């Protein structure tokens, strides 16, 4: 069964393949209805910000995280099965840490940030690295299984 384009982009984002995610989202965004464009652009900007961060481009990361937040706020708390409340909490915390970061600490911060695994408790991972934040993830909300759990 083929994976749809957005599911592929979500997987790329969560696997930290931020450049590939950018390409996937750009292909979706171009042909999207107007109501969805800002949503896809917001996630795309956060993916590119994380890519910039991996290349130690602090200024680019800060700018794009801020722009991504602005675009996605209109879609809270969730949209297209993505928990935007959790995403924006993570993005805002990361942005705040980056804005306070001294440039001579950037390399060490980024190394620790990207060394975190994507498994386990979010707060425990961040605190074990002394970062108090983590790379954002796209959490898919599945209402159907949530409804089944309540029955």
Looking at 24-28, 91-95, 116-120, which range is the least confident one? 116-120
Q: How large is the average pLDDT for residues 64-93?
A: 97
Chain-centroid distance, C-alpha 61: 12
Q: Which of 52, 51, 24, 26 is nearest to 41 (CA)?
A: 26
Q: Look up the pTM and report it.
A: 0.86
Q: Which of 138, 58, 137, 44 is nearest to 95 (CA)?
A: 58
Q: For residue 72, is pLDDT > 90?
A: yes
Chain-centroid distance, C-alpha 42: 9
pLDDT band at residue 111 using 50, 70 and 90 as cut-offs: very high
pLDDT band at residue 143 using 50, 70 and 90 as cut-offs: low
CA distance 88 to 96: 12
pLDDT band at residue 138 using 50, 70 and 90 as cut-offs: very high
Q: Report CA-CA distances (Å) from 41 to 21, 25, 52, 71, 132.
A: 12, 8, 16, 7, 27
Q: How large is the average pLDDT for residues 44-68?
A: 97
Q: Strand (E) positions, the chain?
A: 78-79, 82-83
How many CB atoms neighbour CB 61 within 10 A? 24
pLDDT tens digits, 5-16? 999 999 999 999
Domains, the chain, ordered by start? 5-150 (1.10.3450.10)
The single-letter DSSP state of residue 140 is B
Q: Which of 126, 72, 65 is nearest to 92 (CA)?
A: 65
């Amino acid at each position: 069964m083929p994976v749809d384009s957005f599911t592929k982009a979500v997987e790329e984002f969560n696997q930290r393949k931020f450049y590939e995610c950018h390409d996937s989202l750009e292909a979706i965004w171009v042909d999207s209805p107007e109501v969805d464009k800002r949503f896809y652009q917001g996630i795309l900007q956060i993916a590119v910000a994380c890519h910039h961060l991996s290349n130690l481009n602090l200024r680019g990361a800060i700018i794009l995280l801020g722009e991504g937040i602005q675009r996605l706020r209109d879609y809270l708390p969730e949209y297209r099965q993505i928990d935007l409340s959790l995403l924006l909490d993570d993005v805002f915390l990361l942005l705040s840490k980056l804005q306070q970061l001294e440039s001579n600490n950037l390399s060490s911060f980024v190394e620790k940030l990207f060394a975190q695994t994507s498994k386990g408790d979010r707060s425990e991972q961040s605190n074990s690295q002394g970062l108090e934040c983590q790379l954002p993830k796209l959490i898919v909300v599945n209402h159907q299984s949530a409804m089944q759990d309540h029955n």
